[in-house]
Amino acid sequence: MLREVTATRYIEPLRSGGSVPGVVEADDLGTYVVKFTGSAQGRKALVAEVIVGELARALGLRFPELVLVHFDPAIADHEPHQEVRGLHAASAGVNLGMDHLPGARDLTPELARVFPVGPLEAGKVVWLDALTVNVDRTVHSSNLMVWPTLGVAPPRLWLIDHGAALVFHHRWDAADPRKTYDFRHHALGHYGPDVRAADAELAPRVTEELLRRILAEVPDAWLDDEPGFATADEVRAAYVTYLHARVQASGDWLPTGFPTREELAAEEALRAAKNQQGRPAWLKQVPDLHGKPAAQQDWSVHLG
């Protein structure tokens, strides 16, 4: 079961995502990124974080430890923004914390040019995302971290942020375990992911027993108000049934046909050209900053 801790100090909000998680210290002396039950994404996002994150860990992928965080809004009274304080007030009680990775860097397109990821590791991440219908790991928003970046240990790829996964749980009546989704622009697509090798290795490991064990870690309070279900255990059983059926149907949804780096660059150039065509003459002299990466240091020095 997930460990339980109590937040003792509120450090700061993170504004990189719509849910505005907060960094806190807890009574176990750990530092965690907390996602709140009162966020606009709701409790389903926390359910997805637990299921996908714990499944990733069970399959040998790197994912920060999750904990249940008891949060008292009073510890964040110094937060100056009323909207964030309102989020805290709506989130008193048990929330979800993810172990903070100090100094971790986002796997941006620029960093991806020099950071090595093998075809099998890339394939495993893509396979997990396809299984759990996580369409929110794209070239421009990878939800992948490189950590440690400048430490003694070799930098490794870490998975984060799965709140947008399991899209089927927003409409249980239309859930189809055989449905395919477009993963052509997956963040690791240009690494040549070997999804077939990943499927052969990982699919047999996703058993009903494993899924039941993972679902047991989701608090009842995050499941017991699901429309169409009488109890939290009924909701857990529905997740197990769907995900196990999807594993068995992997031949129907296995992603293939990823574009190369060159093809992605060509698509980006075409997009930029189309944007320029719609600009007035005076504005065409202004660079299209949206499509051009910011200057980055040469990470190949640190990454070998």
- Least confident segment among 73-82, 131-140, 217-226, 284-293: 284-293
Q: What torsion do the CA atoms of 264, 266, 270, 271 make, to the nearest 10 degrees?
A: 20
Q: Average per-residue pLDDT in the chain?
A: 90
Cβ–Cβ < 8 Å for 34, 69: yes
Q: Write the pLDDT tens digit of every residue in 211-267.
A: 999 999 999 999 999 999 999 999 999 999 999 999 999 999 999 889 887 887 888
Residue 275's pLDDT band (boundaries 50, 70, 90)? confident
Q: Write the pLDDT tens digit of every residue in 137-153.
A: 998 899 999 999 766 78
pLDDT of amino acid 273: 82
Q: Write the pLDDT tens digit of every residue in 166-225.
A: 999 999 999 999 999 999 999 999 999 999 999 999 999 999 999 999 999 999 999 999
pLDDT of amino acid 267: 81
pLDDT for residue 289 is more than 70:
no
pLDDT for residue 298 is more than 50:
no
Give CA angle at 235 (35, 231), nearest 5°: 105
> For residues 187 and 192, what is the distance between their CA atoms, to the nearest angstrom?
11
> For residues 60 and 48, what is the distance between their CA atoms, to the nearest angstrom?
18
pLDDT of amino acid 288: 47
Q: Over range 21-36, report the average pLDDT.
A: 98
- pTM of the predicted model as reported, rounded to 2 decimal places: 0.88
Residue 18's pLDDT band (boundaries 50, 70, 90)? confident
Query: Which residues are CB-contacts of 300 (< 8 A; sequence separation ≥ 6)?
Result: 114
Residue 279's pLDDT band (boundaries 50, 70, 90)? low
Which region, left, alpha or beta, applies to residue 107 given φ > 0 means left and ψ of -120 to 50 means alpha?
Answer: beta
> For residues 100 and 222, what is the distance between their CA atoms, to the nearest angstrom?
23
Q: Over range 112-137, report the average pLDDT.
A: 96
Strand ordering across the sheet containing 105-106? 105-106, 144-147, 156-159
Higher pLDDT residue, 201 or 291? 201
Cβ–Cβ < 8 Å for 160, 145: yes
pLDDT of amino acid 282: 55
Residue 281's pLDDT band (boundaries 50, 70, 90)? low
pLDDT for residue 300 is more than 50:
no
pLDDT of amino acid 217: 98
